[in-house]
Amino acid sequence: MESTQPKSVPPCPFTKLYPSQLIRDEAFFRKLAYNQAIDAWKAGEVPIGAVIEYEGQIIGADHNRVESTQDPTAHAEILAITQAARHRGDWRLNGARLFVTKEPCPMCSGATAMARISHVYYAHTDPKMGCL
């Protein structure tokens, strides 16, 4: 008989970062993506976070939700792109920048290209599934 209990999530060994709101540089948006990854870890998800910035404003931010939604496409980048497109009222995200904690997979790289995101910044390479 399969247990209906949620799987045990180990405590997160990392703490969130609180960047200054005054300086919205690349480091600021990277830290916000990192914080999204911590939220993913705490939710029992693969700890990947993404933030999309346009003209200094956050127009999309999320973390992986594959486990909670049972949707294999619910990657942080895809969810953030969807939010950003809704925010802009246009699927073309020209001029936007994506900050993500891990190199995007082929699916997310394709979505990034299709959304016409201008720049992608990632913290860690993924030799197994990375596609940039």
Annotation marks residue 103 as catalytic: no
Digit-by-digit pLDDT tens for the chain (132 residues) are 455 555 677 777 777 776 666 678 899 999 999 999 999 999 999 999 999 999 999 999 999 999 999 999 999 999 999 999 999 999 999 999 999 999 999 999 999 999 999 999 999 999 888 887
Residues 116, 114: Cα–Cα separation, whole Å? 5
Residues 60, 44: Cα–Cα separation, whole Å? 21
The whole domain housing 84 covers 26-90+102-124
pLDDT value of position 61: 98
pLDDT value of position 20: 65
- Which one of 45, 53, 77, 103 is the catalytic residue? 77
Q: Are 59 and 15 contacting, i.e. CB atoms less than 8 angstroms apart?
A: no
pLDDT value of position 115: 99
Residue 11 forms part of a structural domain: no
CATH assignment at residue 114: 3.40.140.10
Residue 17 forms part of a structural domain: no
Q: Where would I find the beta strands (DSSP E) of the chain?
A: 49-54, 57-63, 97-102, 119-124
Query: How many domains are there within the chain?
Result: 1
Residue 85 forms part of a structural domain: yes
Residue 47 forms part of a structural domain: yes
Sheet containing 97-102, strands listed edge to edge, beginning at the edge strand earlier in sequence: 57-63, 49-54, 97-102, 119-124
Residue 129 forms part of a structural domain: no
Contact residues for 122 (Cβ-Cβ < 8 A; gap 6+):
99, 100, 101, 102, 103, 104, 132
pLDDT value of position 49: 99
Q: Smallest Cα–Cα separation from 111: which of 98, 128, 129?
A: 98
pLDDT value of position 132: 72
pLDDT value of position 42: 94
pLDDT value of position 22: 64
